[in-house]
Amino acid sequence: MTATNTFPLPLSGCRVLDLSIARAGPTAVRLLADWGADVVRIDPPGRPPTLGHRRGSDEQNLHRNKRSLSVDLKTPAGKEVLMRLVKRSDVVVENFRASVKERLGLTYEALSAVNPRVILASISGFGQSGPYANRQGLDQIVQGMSGLSSVTGEPGRGPWRTGIAISDTTSGMFLGQGILLALLHRERTGRGQWVHTSLLEAMLNKLDFQGVRYTMDGAVPQQEGNSHPTLVPMGTFDAKDGKVNICGPGAAMWGKLCETLEAPHLATNPSYKDQATRLAHRRALEAEINELTRHHTVAELVERLNEAGVPCGPVYDIGQAFEDEQARHLRMTRPAPHAALGDLQLLRSPINLSACPHPEHFERAAPDAGEHTDSVLEELGYDADAVRRLRSEGAVA
């Protein structure tokens, strides 16, 4: 909790041990850290605080509100430090392969023997069992294997990846939800459990209506570019000075769209009389709408169509998105104080709780590797001599 926030955050008092790497695991932990959990992140010794690493924008946004303990888990002394942390932790988050978990003693069975209340939260590329369980799972690989790439992009142009690491962030969000469910379950039972998900499970679930078009209907969805796969018209159209997205399916919206664009010939065309016929003649209809919209500015289309009850919005670049008046009103950034870099503007959690308003600033920026080694070890019961000994042995840094 920050000094400027008078409300205790929901996860205050929850202790989290973050052993995860890459993006998916840290995304889950970030949810916990933002809402008050005391997170100790394990970093390997020797990682420099360069702009390409922890002090860069990506890792600052991933690892804010955490403390860092630099420890070598391959050493006996490092393992002892780890087990002391497990004893005092509510949640342990990791994304090691099964063989590494076994070697480090990080299976749920091993951790629950040390702390029966601990929740082990694991994330992997393809699941904890099965023929691909030991494969390394990366976002782009899973975008392809989940089918997402096959429905992204324009028809005939081949598969496209999304512009963000969507399988990493989605699986991290699901793992964060799973951790919260396990914490609720522990309130009733007093016992921890193993929570796990994977990039592949997350993306197959995220296919949503496109996925059940196959599982229920036997249809294999294809690329539709910027057009909605099943609703017409819903897509991107040209304006004089840019592009807009317009959503006008359904009888009421379709009628309002035709009226606002002063296109009665579209409203009376039998080829466009209902959703089924509009879908069957999609390309022709989109071309006709485009001929109409290109005579108006983005601002004109956005104002007139929204006033008529037809959803319409500009197509922004990322800078324009953050500078839009609604985004600025929502205040999607908060400063994070960094001793070397100053106040950093990082993205806040999108969750809004009436009883726990967002703190005015993050408690801390992402730490350099090992920045909190001494203070964390002191909390674990190591005195100054013991800390010096661990450093001299290379167990911590």
Q: Where are the beta strands (DSSP E) in the chain?
A: 15-18, 38-43, 66-70, 91-94, 119-124, 194-198, 234-239, 242-247, 312-314, 333-338, 342-347
Q: List the strands of the sheet with 242-247, edge to edge.
A: 234-239, 242-247, 312-314
Residue identified by tokens 């579209």 is: 266
- Choosing from 168, 238, 343, 385, which is the catalytic residue? 168
Read off the amino acid at residue 152: T
What's the first-to-final CA gap in the chain, in angstroms?
A: 27
Question: Rounded to whole angstroms, how far apart are CA atoms 379 and 374?
Answer: 9
Q: Decide if 168 is catalytic.
A: yes
Bridge partners of residue 121, in order along the sequence: 93, 195
Question: Rounded to whole angstroms, how far apart are CA atoms 36 and 10?
Answer: 6
CB of 144 closer than 8 Å to CB of 199: no
8-state DSSP, 107: S
Residue identified by tokens 């959803």 is: 311
Question: Rounded to whole angstroms, how far apart are CA atoms 16 and 35?
Answer: 12
Return the number of other C-beta atoms located less than 10 Å from residue 275's C-beta: 15
Return the number of other C-beta atoms located less than 10 Å from residue 338's C-beta: 18
3-state secondary structure of 165: coil
Of 118, 246, 278, nearest to 182 (Cα)? 118
Return the number of other C-beta atoms located less than 10 Å from residue 102's C-beta: 12
**How is residue 196 written in tokens?**
């796990």
Catalytic residues: 168
